[in-house]
Amino acid sequence: MSTPEHSPLGKHTVYADRYDPTLLFPIPRQAKRDEIGVSEPLPFQGVDIWNAYELSWLDMHGKPVAAVAEFRVPAHSPNIIESKSFKLYLNGFAQEPLANPAALSALLQQDLSRAAGAPVMVQLRAARTAQHVFADLAGDSIDALPITVDDYGPPNAGYLRADATAPAVDEILVSDLLRSNCPVTGQPDWGSVQISYHGAPIDREGLLRYLVSFRIHNEFHEQCVERIFMDVRQRCAPERLSVYARYTRRGGLDINPFRSTDQALPDNRRGARQ
């Protein structure tokens, strides 16, 4: 069954060291989308950008090869891929002989696309030429606002409001205080979030209180970002809206979901914490 409690999360695991695509554990997106009012056609476009820093295989002479991989899972795919199963799957290449990086890339694209239910883009880079540029999310930080907080969950959209009497603005707001928890293990997920919009000015203190209210909430990265998008859209009614989160890595993987009404897909620049 493709539900979190049936995934490898939180369970004793034997780490395979040979290629095994059955390790991938897809989880349908729609159940969580039903909770926040997302149905077809989707009210957003977007992508989940994964970076894998612990990827290695053997060449045909038995010598290990190391690389960094980027995966882009489209938001319209019916499934997310549970992260521990993703890690186990990638680790399975550790003792797998492969003719060249192109052979690995083809396998990755085939298996991940099958699990996600839509084409997944794969890019491999040599470990020393990964060309990851550090650049924190652009925008005005709201983290220094002098607010008093006593609400840490569940997410409280009641804090969100916009001044409909004021002229519309183009604004980008960011926070490094996003924290939520894995819905199976309870382990914390730490992230930074960027909210870009055109519309009535959003109350910054209310937005910060709202983001802090995710602090003890149990939900996967992708689901948190979609919840933020839908709550801001419903409560503040911007004409355009994009939400982009960059999460810190766990097990050699980081996940960076992006959802937008109309913005081009983002680049993949690592934040300082990544």
221 annotated as ligand-binding: yes
171 annotated as ligand-binding: no
Nearest alpha carbon to residue 235 among 263, 213, 210, 212: 210
191 annotated as ligand-binding: no
What is the C-alpha to C-alpha distance for residues 221 and 18, in angstroms, rounded to an integer? 28
Report the C-alpha dihedral over residues 145, 137, 215, 158, rounded to 10 degrees.
60
DSSP H helical ranges for the chain: 30-35, 83-91, 101-116, 204-212, 221-236
**182 catalytically annotated:** yes
**254 catalytically annotated:** no
158 annotated as ligand-binding: no
Contact 207, 171 (CB under 8 A): no
219 annotated as ligand-binding: no
From 111, 176, 189, 254, the catalytic residue: 189
Residue found under tokens 């997410």: 155
Q: What is the DSSP letter of 134?
A: B
From 182, 224, 231, 254, the catalytic residue: 182
19's tokens: 């290629």
81 annotated as ligand-binding: yes
251 annotated as ligand-binding: yes
205 annotated as ligand-binding: no
What residues are designated binding site for NADPH? 83-84, 250-251
What residues are designated binding site? 81-84, 221-222, 250-251
What residues are designated binding site for substrate? 81-83, 221-222
- What is the set of active-site residues? 182, 189
